[in-house]
Amino acid sequence: MAARATIIPFRPRPEKKQLISDGVLGMLVFVFVEIMLFAGFISAFVIIKSRAVGSVWPPVNQPRLPVESTAINTLALIASGVVLLIAHRAYLRARRSGGDGAVRRGPGRTRGFGGLFGDSTGRLLVAATLLGGVFVALQGVEWLALIR
């Protein structure tokens, strides 16, 4: 009995278009993991809170953060993020219209962070950095108040 070779014709599969880039998928997985981590922390907090001795939460003699400074701190952090988003959009807009995002002043001269950014983008980045500094400084003040 002789074996006959069977020839199977090659049919290339059509190329599938990638629905989502690897970077975007990685970031989505990271965000989902962070959400699950904080959900675990919050649920553990709720369980501990529900089992508090005498149903008093927070426990007696625990330091309390002042609501006003915490609200200011939160607003500074949110404002910093919003200003950074606006700076990013200004940079992209300038880059689309002018090539590299830098504002040219005369032949070969640039302004704004040594030519890295346009004037408005640079100012917005400075504002976002200052707001972030305010946040960090207020965090330090709150922690010092808790330690004392």
The size of the chain, in residues, is 148
Residue 76 belongs to what H/E stretch? helix 67-98
Domains in the chain: boundaries: 22-62, 63-148
pTM exceeds cut of 0.75 = no
The first and second tokens of residue 140, run together, are: 């330090």
Predicted confidence at residue 99, as pLDDT, reads 56
DSSP string, 88-148: HHHHHHHHHHHSSSPEE-STT-EESGGGTS-HHHHHHHHHHHHHHHHHHHHHHHHHHHHH-
Which residues of the chain have a pLDDT value below 50?
A: none
Tens of pLDDT along 111-141? 555 555 667 888 899 999 999 999 999 999 9
